[in-house]
Chains A and B, each alone.
Chain A
Amino acid sequence: MINKIARSVADALAGIQDGATVLIGGFGTAGIPGELIDGLVEQGAKDLTVVNNNAGNGDTGLAALLKAGRVRKIICSFPRQADSQVFDGLYRSGKLELELVPQGNLAERIRAAGAGIGAFFCPTGYGTQLAGNRETREINGKQYVLEYPIHGDVALIKAERGDRWGNLVYRKAARNFGPVMAMASKKTIATVHDIAELGTLDPETVVTPGIFVHQVVRIERVATQAGGFKKAA
């Protein structure tokens, strides 16, 4: 029997090794797998390369992982925030390597990894600092830069509902990087608020098919009085 439901966050995260590349979903307050990041701090893997849109806020979540000294390199599009002081300090003191990637290139490089693409020519960033010294090519009169895929050893993502085969549906703009990160990693761990009985998720609305998911962990939902969802801690 296939059963991808993990008993706990700690069980799901067991086996993440030092030096791993960890893709972490989320954009702003939406779709951040906070419980899994906290669990990774506990789990203790170090020398990590983290791929996320941002580089941590405040002192919790990704910022706590950085603060604990577990991250060697971060690949992201927007590290600078009003409350990114943990990243700022580590970056300025040279303790953390940064690869800055335009947001769409970040998403497409991750997607390419999941889709088995060796590299692709992309117009974004042509003629800018961020194209570095990568190969460029003119195709039908337009300039492109060669971009390479970003593979993950592990992806940590947040979905809304999942089943024991790993099928996932998301909620609103919390979908963001989840589907492409799930495709791009050797092991994908998703938190969900509901575990659905197999066969009860509408197959027409499954966003991430279970083939891309290895572990599903249920977490509590934190609702506001308005029925919305509180700002992630």
Chain B
Amino acid sequence: MNMAYTRRTKDQLAARVAQDIFDGAVVNLGIGQPTLVANHLPAGREVILQSENGILGMGPAPEAGEEDYDLINAGKQPVTLLPGGSFFHHADSFAMMRGGHLDICVLGAFQVSATGDLANWHTGEKDAIPAVGGAMDLAIGAKQTWVMMDLLTKQGTSKLVQECTYPLTGIGCVKRVYSDLATLECTPQGLKLVDLVEGLTREELEKLVGLTIAA
């Protein structure tokens, strides 16, 4: 099998996610890799970013020396507020998620099942200190939950699985997986291919993840 493909870099992956965020969308970008998406939103699209700690209309990081530690994102880094932005308390913030008011949230993941179960908060190791934050609320709250991740672990194991072995964050909540090798849709019937990096075929991808992927 000749697999002469090139993985998407982290920035290319962020740009791929950003390409699908529509004009006017209200979006929550999870901690870590998903925050990169903000740097790649196509010009001409007005997108409102929500931060779970009570910000709508979140802007980029401030200039050095302009940091205001009352204005931080969910990852606790200083940010700015765009014109039109607003502040609100935590119960309202999570009402925006649970109440179905957010269009899209983008999260990282340890594992995603073919039908969209998500595991991203706990590796299940016995001595690990658990921490969940807003992951479970975000996963089930937004109109669309997208996952952004490398398709394989460093050991080469697929993070797309038939059934999650790590503790679950939410059931059947992931709609799309954007990865370094392909974009896939999770459906009640299983995985469906959206796109692939150049040089990779659907059959090769099926072998890599060990799951059937509908064209």
Q: Which residues of A does B touch, CB under 8 Å?
A: 27-31, 77-80, 84, 87-88, 91-92, 98, 100-108, 110-111, 122-130, 170-180, 207, 224-232
Contact = CB atoms under 8 A, between A and B. Distances in A.
Interface stretch (B152-160, B162-170, B202-210): B162-170
Interface residues of B, number: 44
Chain B interface, DSSP helix/strand/loop, else mixed: loop
Interface stretch (B7-15, B19-27, B130-138, B177-185): B130-138
A80 B140 contact: no
8 contacts: A31-B70, A80-B129, A102-B137, A106-B90, A122-B98, A172-B71, A172-B87, A228-B67
A63 to B, nearest CB: 14
Contact of B69 (A105, A108, A232): A232
A77 B87 CA distance: 21
Interface stretch (B41-49, B52-60, B189-197): B52-60
Nearest to A101: B132
A29 B69 contact: yes
Contacts, number: 158
B89 A104 contact: no
B90 A103 contact: yes
Contact of A29 (B72, B97, B98, B122): B72
Nearest to B169: A128
A103 B94 contact: yes
Interface string B120-134: 001000010111111
A228 B97 contact: no
A143 to B, nearest CB: 8
B61 to A, nearest CB: 13
A201 B212 CA distance: 62
Nearest to B55: A173
B87 A170 contact: yes
Most buried by B among A104, A178, A179, A228: A104
A125 B136 CA distance: 6
Nearest to B79: A173
A228 B68 contact: yes
B44 to A, nearest CB: 28
Q: Which 9 A-B pairs have the closest CB atoms?
A: A104-B94, A228-B68, A104-B137, A28-B76, A107-B90, A80-B131, A29-B69, A102-B136, A103-B134
